Structure 1
Amino acid sequence: MDKVCPGAAEAVADIPDGASLAVGGFGLSGIPAVLIRALYDQGATGLRVVSNNCGVDGQGLGVLLGAGRIARVTGSYVGENREFARQYLSGELEVELVPQGTLAERLRAGGAGIPAFYTPAGVGTQVANGGLPWRYAPDGSVALSSPAKEIRTFQDRRYVLEHGITTDFALVRAWRGDRHGNLVFRKAAANFNPLAAMAGRITVAEVEELVEPGELDPDEVQLPGIYVQRVVELTAGQADFKQIEKRTVRA
């Protein structure tokens, strides 16, 4: 039951080229930065990433992206990452853009064993009708576009069928965790972390504070250890290092 790994390098050592990864975080909030850096050092390439976005240039998933290690991204927006936009528009990167709430539910559904579900989000748009550019050709034309999805009507309202997402691995960050993998997330850093953790067949969690089994109040646990296979305890410096995507101060 003790799921603690000696370090981040050991925790990601078996992630192969071409693996699919669900990665928690939103921008730079709650990202598993230590695990991402360890995966960069490990060298895996051709990765297929499912995450709300791809970090920023040189930070978070942007580290892997800038090194050309990511082949496909399923996410909600390109965000502030210029390299992400450049690779997508130049045809170097395949990108499936998904409405944010739909992406969250697809991850949750995959983790809960639900193969698909109907949602009204995206009905009447290219999300449902198909034609969203997934990959561009070098000349700027669309090389690969999204297919049309099944539409059904329930109680006079149209819904589109979306499929649950499961991935080979998941990388997440938690505020506190115990040796059994039970996790607690802090405030906005919860974001996509619990959902990504649910979707991974092998989930690796970096935790800012590691406690012994029984120290966490069961009512406080936001993700039970059944979803977590490996736990990495961060050093004090790693836990304290949190970057801000956009700093806003008074004049």
Structure 2
Amino acid sequence: MDKRVPDLARAVAGIQDGMTVMIGGFGGAGSPIELIHALIDRYRATGHPRDLVVVNNNAGNGHVGLAALIEAGMVRKLVCSFPRSADPVVFTQLYLAGQIELELVPQGTLAERIRAGGAGIPAFYTPTSYGTDLADGKPVAEFEGRPYVQERWLKADYALVKAETADTHGNLTYRAAARNFGPLMCMAASVAVVQATRIVAPGDIDPETVITPGIFVQHIVEIPHPHQEEDLNRANAAYPLEG
């Protein structure tokens, strides 16, 4: 039941070429910077993993975190809602050069597709995107006189998630808006890897405050002082970080 791993490298060691990886975060809020950078370190050392399909709310900012993962050439396809975020220079350049694929998904639909993946619901209908290019090729049905577009679930091989507190069994709490996609992604992935600011003993988290039950978490690693994407970008940082 003890789901702790000793370091970041071992936390991401199971991610292989071509896998689908969900990465939590709403911009910098809840972005698991250290897990992402550990994955880049592994690629720099071994050339793997590559050709990843990444599911995230946006396309990364600056040259750290998700943007650095894309810049390293590790991502074949990005599934997201906001490819044009604050400073998406890396993704924009690669996309315009035809070096990365994009599947654009409305934000509410993205969240529901991930939730459906975790709940075992292969498809659902939503009015969002009807009559737009995003609905091309998708089944449409009418309910109570209104057209709805069929959307498929989203599942992943791995999820990388940032939590505030975890116990050794994998029960999680989150800090404010850092909660965002993390709970859904833990449910929708075969393996959820979590970086937590602190890890406590079982029973030290009030059961009433648990957001993600430990049954949805496979590995946790403690990162007491995690980087914040916005702070790194204000410092014009790029990964690998200096100092």
Give the TM-score taking structure 1 as reference length: 0.87
Q: Distance in 1 between matches of 2:59 and 2:214?
A: 26
- Unaligned 5+ segments in structure 2 are 44-48, 235-243
Q: Which secondary structure state, in structure 2, belongs to the residue aligned with residue 170 of structure 1? A: strand
Cα deviation for residue 31 of structure 1 reads 0.4
Matching of residue 31 in structure 1 with residue 31 in structure 2: yes
The 5 A counterparts of 1:26-65 are 26-43=26-43, 44-65=49-70
Q: Distance in 2 between matches of 1:201 and 1:3?
A: 15
- Unaligned 5+ segments in structure 1 are 131-147
Cα deviation for residue 179 of structure 1 reads 0.7
Matching of residue 69 in structure 1 with residue 58 in structure 2: no
2:239 maps to which residue? none
Equivalent position to 1:165, from 134, 154, 177: 154
Equivalent position to 1:154, from 119, 123, 143: 143
Contact in 1 for aligned 2:194/2:217 (Cα 8 Å): yes
1:232 maps to which residue? 221
The letter for the 1-side match of 2:69 is L
Cα deviation for residue 54 of structure 1 reads 2.3
Q: Which secondary structure state, in structure 1, belongs to the residue aligned with residue 204 of structure 2? A: coil
Deviations 1:66-120 (A, max 9, x none): 1111110000011221110111121100100000000001011101111111111
Contact in 2 for aligned 1:21/1:169 (Cα 8 Å): yes
Matching of residue 183 in structure 1 with residue 172 in structure 2: yes
The letter for the 2-side match of 1:83 is V
2:205 maps to which residue? 216
Q: Distance in 2 between matches of 1:191 and 1:222?
A: 11
1:97 maps to which residue? 104
Equivalent position to 1:118, from 119, 122, 125: 125
Give the TM-score taking structure 2 as reference length: 0.90
Q: Distance in 2 between matches of 1:57 and 1:200?
A: 27
Matching of residue 244 in structure 1 with residue 230 in structure 2: yes
Deviations 1:201-243 (A, max 9, x none): 0110000011111111111011111111001111x3x33x324
Q: Which secondary structure state, in structure 2, belongs to the residue aligned with residue 244 of structure 1? A: helix
Cα deviation for residue 244 of structure 1 reads 2.2
Q: Which secondary structure state, in structure 1, belongs to the residue aligned with residue 230 of structure 2? A: coil
Contact in 2 for aligned 1:57/1:66 (Cα 8 Å): no
Contact in 1 for aligned 2:124/2:152 (Cα 8 Å): yes
**Aligned residues between the structures:** 226
Matching of residue 198 in structure 1 with residue 205 in structure 2: no
Contact in 2 for aligned 1:24/1:197 (Cα 8 Å): no
Contact in 2 for aligned 1:118/1:162 (Cα 8 Å): yes
Q: Distance in 2 between matches of 1:37 and 1:244?
A: 15
1:12 maps to which residue? 12
Contact in 2 for aligned 1:54/1:60 (Cα 8 Å): no
| Percent identity for Structure 1 against Structure 2 | 47
Q: Distance in 2 between matches of 1:201 and 1:9?
A: 19
The letter for the 2-side match of 1:92 is Q
Q: Distance in 1 between matches of 2:180 and 2:230?
A: 15
